[in-house]
Structure 1
């Protein structure tokens, strides 16, 4: 039991975090790709992203799918957690800028997430940021230490 607590507990939390990101990024990526025209238009309407809308409309879902794969393969999990933390930091920074600076509030996150509203969206992203940070900390803890 002591061994499970030391090894299994950390592994279980990491698995939960990775699966949560799997669902989040998988859903978001496929939603963007299946409604690509809507996503491109939304990206194009954002003043700061307009010049990059064409590139980002493909790059964001592809990066999300790559992160999903990385999080599911233990060998690449640490890099996937770093990537997830980075991408969520970018998304959260965008939300902060939208709420604080921009007049027009645009989101191409996916129907379910868009329905949260901006305040709850920020809370949602913050929870996922914390989860990625916890996952990184737990992933770095040696599993066979005494």
Structure 2
């Protein structure tokens, strides 16, 4: 496989993971009450729920943001974050599939709500493999490039447009969920 194809695949993987992590992280942040209620249904120690409640959405959003950077070290941190999150979620779901838990509660985003746990496990393993492949291809494509040469990418506006459209879709979704206007700063009139 030549270096151009590898860089296109690596770029596509990073876009897929950016969209995925920003979507699931922002969805947990926006529907924080549902996320908190579902955490109380998990087979987790009570003391850990408050930590997980804040930590998981922040790490998911941070992973998506890190993957959007062009700098190699930041992007690699994003890939490692993706690998660690997916490994933890895959182990959690794998334990549910083999019957370790009495019931199978799930705090999954709307993407996975309708999936069975077996299919959820398959999707998580596939995303984990994609993350590992993205990390590998990111390293390979950066090793092939000359370290002092700056790569000019014509696809950066496409990534910006993709993220802009994603943001617009999330905004429109929230406007439908909350049709009334509310003041961000209650002391000021709307």
Pair in the same fold by TM > 0.5: yes
Q: Which residue number corresponds to residue 11 of structure 2?
A: 15
Question: Any unmatched runs of 5+ in structure 1?
Answer: none
Which structure is higher in helix share? 1
Using structure 1 for the length normalisation, give the TM-score.
0.89
Question: What TM-score do you get using the length of structure 2 for normalisation?
Answer: 0.69
Shift in CA distance, 90/42, structure 1 to aligned 2, threshold 3 Å: same
Distance of 1:80 and 1:8 partners within structure 2: 22
Larger Rg: 2
> CA–CA distance in 1 between the matches of 2:19 and 2:45?
26
Q: With a CA cutoff of 8 Å and minimum separation of 6, indicate the structure with the bigger relative contact order.
A: 1
> Distance in 1 between the 2:64 and 2:21 partners?
7
Runs of at least 4 residues of structure 1 off by over 4 A? none
Contact 2:96–2:117 (CA<8 Å) still a contact in 1?
no
1:44–1:50 CA distance, 2 compared to 1 (3 A): farther
The 8 Å contact of residues 7 and 144 in structure 1, kept in 2 or not, is answered as no
Q: 1:54 to 1:104 in 2, by over 3 A?
A: same
**Superposition RMSD in Å:** 1.5
